[in-house]
Amino acid sequence: MNNNIFDSKELNLHNGIKVISIKKETALFSLHVGVKIGSIYESNEERGASHFVEHMLFKGTKSLTNEELNKRFENLGGEYNAYTDYNCTVYSVTALYEEMTKAVELISDMIQNPSFDEKEFKKEKKVILSELNSGKDDIEDYCYTKVHEIGFSKSPLKYDTIGTKANVEGFSRNFIFDFYKKYYIPNNCFIVIVSKLEHEQVFDLVEKYFGDWNKGEVKDKDIIVEENIPKIVTSHRKDISQSSIIYMFTAYNLNRFEEAALKILNYKLGESANSILFREIRENKGLAYDIYSDLNLSKNVKTMYIYTAVNNENVKETIDSINNCIEKIKYEEKWLDDNSILLMKKVLKTSLAFTIEDTTDIGNYVLHQCMDGEDIYEFVEDMRYADTIKNEDVRKVALKVLTNPSIYVVKAKGSV
């Protein structure tokens, strides 16, 4: 389909893999392979298994050792990466066009034929446990983990994607391998390739390297969707010099128009360097070096955050100031004037243009849209919405979302 933005075509292979080819005149290619398994689909005993599998797939295949596999990825001369999200695990490569076939072959081997070597498994368990500890050391990551922990009671978002120390320590090689075999099947896999190749050539290439992969049974899981629990929790740590504050709101039950308005609100509230929170908390009151808001509107995960770090004695004033900013956005018209909305619309359109122009970004975007069962051209509708959104629309969504937050505060031990 050519939507005058990019030329795409979809194909379902006989074994169930959904392939999307995006034809773009570029010297690069981007390959994204997504498997629809992440932390929101895991049972209690599986917490962290998706992330563990992601690590293990880079530890060698039946024909390539760990060192050989990673050396071949490096020899592509581009970028290769992987990540585990709440609802999926993604493997990607972006490099020069002439390396595309080698990349597809490598990713195919890695995903279909991992060795799960026992020795490598034991080493990687230590690496993941170290990663868990690193997450505790990174105070910002720690706060995001903790606000999810206190903000939900039943939702799988309560649990960190990396899992728990007890689970990781208890995982056996066979348990993780069985988990891999359960979810890494072609009819649970999605592939997006951005390149200058004709669509049929892309499909033939994927068929060549993924066509012999045997399909399995995919069982849909019901995901618990839960509004955040309004509360404020304070804890203390002796290894920090500043206090950190994080707010979390949930944004379920919004329509597409309201979500577009929320994106504009997020930019004005705290995403830009000249945001309301930045001007008030840093520039006017000098309470923090930085403060920002963040938004996640993926399927089953509709969350908005505010994060900052301040001196211990300024925690109460900072929280009062954040609350005051939120109230002004909701009720005082001058804080969301027409000029502000026009600027935010321009920023939203610029952000979408950046995504479309970058081969890696557009591949990643299309992959997530595809896995969520959404239209890959949905952003076109977002751009149309941006043209019609008015300041009262942004204020209405602020009234709907910016209420009853979950707030987590961590103070330096010894502070009041």
- CATH value at residue 66: 3.30.830.10
pLDDT, residue 416, reads: 53
Determine the Cα–Cα distance for residues 281 and 288; give it in Å rounded to an integer. 6
* Angstrom distance (rounded) from CA 323 to CA 372: 34
pLDDT tens digits in sequence order for the chain, 416 residues long: 445 678 999 999 999 999 999 999 999 999 999 999 999 999 999 999 999 999 999 999 999 999 999 999 999 999 999 999 999 999 999 999 999 999 999 999 999 999 999 999 999 999 999 999 887 788 999 999 999 999 999 999 999 999 999 999 999 999 999 999 999 999 999 999 999 999 999 999 999 999 999 999 988 888 999 999 999 999 999 888 899 999 999 999 999 999 989 998 998 899 887 889 999 999 999 999 999 999 999 989 999 999 999 999 999 999 999 999 999 999 887 777 777 778 877 887 788 788 888 999 999 999 999 999 988 988 777 778 878 888 899 999 999 999 999 999 999 876 55
For residue 364, give the nearest of 24, 52, 50, 92 by alpha carbon: 92
Which of 12, 24, 29 lies closest to 100 in space, CA to CA? Answer: 29
Contacts of 63 (CB under 8 A, 6+ apart): 109, 113
Pairing of strands 189-195, 28-35: antiparallel
Distance CA(260)–CA(395), nearest Å, equals 12
> Dihedrals φ, ψ of 390, to 5°?
-115, 170
* Whether residue 324 is found in the same domain as residue 177: no
| Within-domain flag for 332 | yes
Does some domain include residue 276? Answer: yes
Give a yes or no: residue 219 inside a domain: no
Does any domain span residue 333?
yes
Does 52 reside within a domain?
yes
Please provide the DSSP assignment of 149-163 as one string: HHH-SSSGGGS-TT-
Domain containing 349: what range?
A: 231-412
* pLDDT in the model for residue 272: 81
- Could you tell me if 140 and 190 lie in one domain? yes
Same domain, 160 and 60: yes
- Claim to verify: residue 155 and residue 289 sit in the same structural domain: no
Residues in Cβ contact with 70 at an 8 Å cutoff, skipping those fewer than 6 apart: 58
Same-domain pairing of 192 and 242: no
How far out from the chain centre does Cα 313 lie? 34
Same-domain status, 310 and 362: yes
Last residue of a domain, one of 179, 210, 241: 210
pTM of the model: 0.92
* H helix count then E strand count, the chain: 15, 11
Pair 56, 204 in one domain: yes
Q: Where are the beta strands (DSSP E) in 228-375?
A: 231-237, 243-250, 288-298, 301-310
User: How far apart (Å, rounded) are the C-alpha atoms in residues 210 and 112?
Assistant: 8
Asked if 167 and 124 sit in the same domain, the reply is: yes
Instruction: Based on the fold, state whether residues 242 and 162 are members of the same structural domain.
Output: no
158 located within any domain = yes
What are the residues whose beta carbons fall under 8 Å from the beta carbon of 372, sequence distance 6 or more?
A: 87, 298, 299
Same domain, yes or no: 51 and 192: yes
- Element (DSSP H or E) covering residue 414: none
Cα separation of 323 and 192, whole Å?
42
In a domain, residue 220? The reply is no
Which of 157, 179, 210 marks a domain boundary? Answer: 210
End residue of a domain, out of 181, 210, 239:
210
State residue 1's pLDDT score.
46
Rg of the chain, C-alpha, whole Å: 23
Which contiguous run of DSSP H or E holds residue 339?
Answer: helix 338-357
Q: Could you count the other beta carbons within 10 Å of the beta carbon of residue 34?
A: 24
Do residue 140 and residue 256 come from a single domain?
no
Question: DSSP letters of 17-58?
Answer: -EEEEEE---SEEEEEEEES--GGG--GGGTTHHHHHHHHTT
Burial of 36 (0-12, 13-18, 19+ CB in 10 A): middle
Q: Considering only CA atoms, which of 2, 362, 375, 359 is closest in space to residue 196?
A: 359
Query: Is position 396 within any domain?
Result: yes
Give the per-residue pLDDT at 3: 58
Q: Report which of 356, 347, 412 is spatially closest to residue 380, judged by C-alpha positions.
A: 356
Distance of CA 32 to the CA centre of its chain: 14
What is the structure's pLDDT at 135?
76
The Cα-based distances of 177 to 53, 88, 268, 378 in angstroms read 8, 17, 46, 36
Closest CA to 368 of 22, 3, 55, 36: 36
How many domains would you assign to the chain? 2
Distance, CA of 139 to CA of 222 (rounded, Å): 32
Same domain? For 170 and 273 the reply is no
Q: Are 196 and 25 in contact (CB under 8 A)?
A: yes
